[in-house]
Amino acid sequence: MMIRVALAGNPNVGKTSLFNALTGARQYAANWPGVTVEKKEGIAKYDGERIKIVDLPGVYSLSASSIDEKIARDFILKEAPDVIVVVTDSMSLEQGLYLLLEILEMEENVILVVNAIDEARKNGLKIDRYELSKHFGVPVILTSAINGEGVEDLLKAIVGMARKLEKSNKVMLNYGEDIESKIRKVERNLKEAKILGNYDSRWLALKYLEGDKEILELLEKMVGIEKLSDEEIAENKVKIAKARYDYINSVMKEAISKIKAKMTLSEAIDHVLTHKFLGIPIFFSFMYLAFKLTFDVAQVFSDMLDVAFSKMANLVVQFLGENWLSSMISDGIIGGVGGVLVFVPNIFMMFLALGFMEESGYLPRAAFVMDRLMVRFKLSGRSFMSLLLGFGCNVPAVMSTRNIENPQERLATILIAPFITCSARLPVYILLASIFFPKNTALVIFSLYILSILLTIGSAIVVNRLFFKGRKFPLIMELPRYRMPSFKNLAIYVWNRGKHFLQKAGGIILVASILIWFLGYFPAGGDVEKSYAATIGRVLEPIMRPLNFSWRATTALLFGVAAKEVVVSTFSMLYGFGEEDLESARSALSQEMDPAVAFAFMVFVMAYVPCLATVAAAKMETGSWKWPIFIVIYSSIVAYLISFIAYSVGRLFL
């Protein structure tokens, strides 16, 4: 029988790092039932037991006001895991202990983990786990997910609790006579109605008094309990929260002692990185360095892959001869898919740079810094965190908006997220920038990312004025401690995000490449000028003529709607450089493009219709086709206009 464990905790407490330390490579991702939030599960083994660990979304409470909180609470209540592990950060225990109290009011089988204990020691903090255990009635394990300290102790405690060798106790916190009398009154009504089921009566009463929407609807429907006024709910919330924090602070005074007081390294760094004036320039400097790394360091590996695919295609032609089958394999499959896969080192290097910034604790600070700018456009740092995900892929960027509580801000973020340049567009940028701007490749690509951000901000203004009349959404967040990312966590981060690029290469890009080959090969047996693709491109070419895009470039944009990487595959086949090197690509593309046209084309790719997967995600998240259709039409118009401007200006200076 497998032991089922739920891993709960606040965001940025090292919960995912601990999950990685416990499960290693034995993990997989899916979606939570009914929603598009990623569900991570993994398997650990200890003392002959198999342990299934579910990494719950990071939350600060179980109020179910956001989709992440609802997922965490529903899993604990309805799935009834054998053990719940609450992970807290040794350097910011208070908020984590608040979540612990909420869980202890629901369940008994709880273990408290105080993570990053090595950081606490470095900063002069001494944490007495026995005091914590005494006051909260749970086993307490001190861990460091980075160096593995305490991981085996945690596994031992999990197995011990599952075997009933260790136990925890529900906390019966006294909330004061006013709240306690209300709790007793509600409990009497619940017991008389006999609807408790798996719910604890005291927990239900507390949630009712706090005005929990889901519990209020349940009790009003099944018990006919009186509805609380907003003023009563607000008063109850304050009293309940104050009682919890008072208890937590009294425990912390006994359990935590500071050996020496001094400004921590994290605080000293924050004085610079979150500075009112320096913070934003520093952020953009880091992003520029990330793109320099993406191109300069990874390019040598891309060149090696390019040579390998070229030789592979030549071998196919030599073995099969000149015919439609060898053309399909060498030009369609190897040339098309290989033309995209040569950029895998660049993609993985970009994720490595972003992973380092996220794992080190910098990206949440970037959201804090950018909040000052975002609030002027009626958004907040929460939106910025979702938009940051868009640099990897627009689909998770759209999905992650479920963490944004305000529905207007959430919808506005969904509508502007596709303008963030995703990794799928990067192969197009690298190809054209390498050919037409060889001395300033990184700078040109960086300028496209900056333009993408500016376009996103501008679109936020348009969307808010059109639909929401704009209102400010304040950001409140706890900044994580700086930490040096471990190689293992970085490797898992890069692989989990980069593998989707490889999966697309074996799926939609493969299918699209064969389709494009078919349209480019028939009916003239390989004469592209007389192919179906040429017919399609020439029909659409007049629309793109003001931008000076040829029918080949127009056809590439059309097929790129399926997935932006397909633009490169289409170029490869229609221009005939799928089996050659960069010099062949330069020679072929230079016949129809100059630097001004190339830059305008990259701008168009940056801004036009998002891929079909992003459109589908927007439909799923908004529950209507109205908003995805708006995204398609709006992005097409914007892409055309700014590309025309880029081309017109480029003709003067490039």
pLDDT, mean of residues 453-477: 75
CATH code at 213? Answer: 1.10.287.1770
Q: For residue 481, is it within any domain?
A: no
Looking at the fold, whether 152 and 95 belong to one and the same domain comes out as yes
pLDDT: which is higher, 626 or 333: 626
Last residue of a domain, one of 162, 193, 227: 162
pLDDT, mean of residues 195-223: 76
Q: Are 368 and 389 in contact (CB under 8 A)?
A: no
Q: For residue 169, is it within any domain?
A: no
| Closest alpha carbon to 87 in 157, 152, 12 | 12
What is the pLDDT, as a whole number, of residue 198? 63
Inform me whether the pLDDT recorded for 439 exceeds 90.
no
Alpha-helical regions (H) of 321-425 = 324-327, 336-341, 344-359, 362-374, 381-389, 394-399, 407-416
* Model confidence pLDDT, tens digit, residues 122-132: 878 899 999 99
What is the pLDDT, as a whole number, of residue 166? 66
Last residue of a domain, one of 162, 185, 214: 162
What is the pLDDT, as a whole number, of residue 37? 53
Q: Are 369 and 270 in contact (CB under 8 A)?
A: no
Dihedral over alpha carbons 60, 63, 65, 67 (to 10 degrees): 70
d(Cα 382, Cα 387) in Å, to the nearest integer?
9
Looking at the fold, whether 150 and 220 belong to one and the same domain comes out as no
| List of residues 6+ apart from 34 with CB closer than 8 A | none
Where does 34-164 show beta strands of DSSP type E? 38-46, 49-55, 83-89, 110-115, 125-127, 140-142
Range of the domain at 401: 280-471+489-653
* Model confidence pLDDT, tens digit, residues 155-164: 999 999 988 8
Looking at the fold, whether 499 and 613 belong to one and the same domain comes out as yes
d(Cα 355, Cα 375) in Å, to the nearest integer?
26
What is the pLDDT, as a whole number, of residue 637? 95
Q: What is the DSSP string of 599-650?
A: HHHHHHHHHS---HHHHHHHHHHHSSSHHHHHHHHHHHHHHHHHHHHHHHHH
Looking at the fold, whether 211 and 308 belong to one and the same domain comes out as no
Looking at the fold, whether 145 and 185 belong to one and the same domain comes out as no
CATH code at 68? Answer: 3.40.50.300
Looking at the fold, whether 445 and 544 belong to one and the same domain comes out as yes
Q: For residue 107, is it within any domain?
A: yes
* Model confidence pLDDT, tens digit, residues 22-60: 887 555 544 444 444 566 888 999 988 999 999 988 888
What is the pLDDT, as a whole number, of residue 262? 58
DSSP 54: E
pLDDT, mean of residues 530-545: 88
What is the pLDDT, as a whole number, of residue 477? 62
Looking at the fold, whether 513 and 549 belong to one and the same domain comes out as yes
- Is the whole-model pTM more than 0.85? no
Cα 99 to Cα 8, 88, 215, 428, 587, distances in angstroms: 9, 9, 18, 46, 62
| Closest alpha carbon to 559 in 569, 545, 550, 549 | 569
Looking at the fold, whether 81 and 181 belong to one and the same domain comes out as no
Looking at the fold, whether 529 and 570 belong to one and the same domain comes out as yes
Alpha-helical regions (H) of 507-611 = 508-521, 532-544, 551-559, 566-574, 582-590, 595-607
Inform me whether the pLDDT recorded for 183 exceeds 80.
yes
Inform me whether the pLDDT recorded for 386 exceeds 90.
no
Looking at the fold, whether 96 and 190 belong to one and the same domain comes out as no
Q: Are 256 and 93 in contact (CB under 8 A)?
A: yes
Element (H, E) at 67: helix 67-74
Q: Are strands 49-55 and 38-46 parallel, antiparallel or unpaired?
A: antiparallel
Looking at the fold, whether 455 and 506 belong to one and the same domain comes out as yes
Looking at the fold, whether 148 and 31 belong to one and the same domain comes out as yes
Q: For residue 109, is it within any domain?
A: yes
* Model confidence pLDDT, tens digit, residues 270-286: 888 888 788 888 888 88
Q: For residue 98, is it within any domain?
A: yes
Mean pLDDT of the chain: 82
Q: For residue 438, is it within any domain?
A: yes
Q: To which residue do tokens 């005939």 refer?
A: 576
Give the count of domains, the chain.
Answer: 3
What is the pLDDT, as a whole number, of residue 580? 46
Q: Which residues pair with 5 in a beta bridge?
A: 53, 83
Last residue of a domain, one of 113, 138, 162: 162
Peptide bond into 523 cis (omega under 30): yes
Q: Are strands 110-115 and 83-89 parallel, antiparallel or unpaired?
A: parallel
| List of residues 6+ apart from 57 with CB closer than 8 A | 37, 68, 69, 71, 72
The band of 201, judged by pLDDT with boundaries at 50, 70 and 90, is: confident
Q: For residue 265, is it within any domain?
A: no
d(Cα 621, Cα 608) in Å, to the nearest integer?
21
d(Cα 446, Cα 96) in Å, to the nearest integer?
39
Q: For residue 371, is it within any domain?
A: yes
The band of 527, judged by pLDDT with boundaries at 50, 70 and 90, is: confident
**Least confident span in 44-53, 459-468, 518-527, 556-565:** 518-527
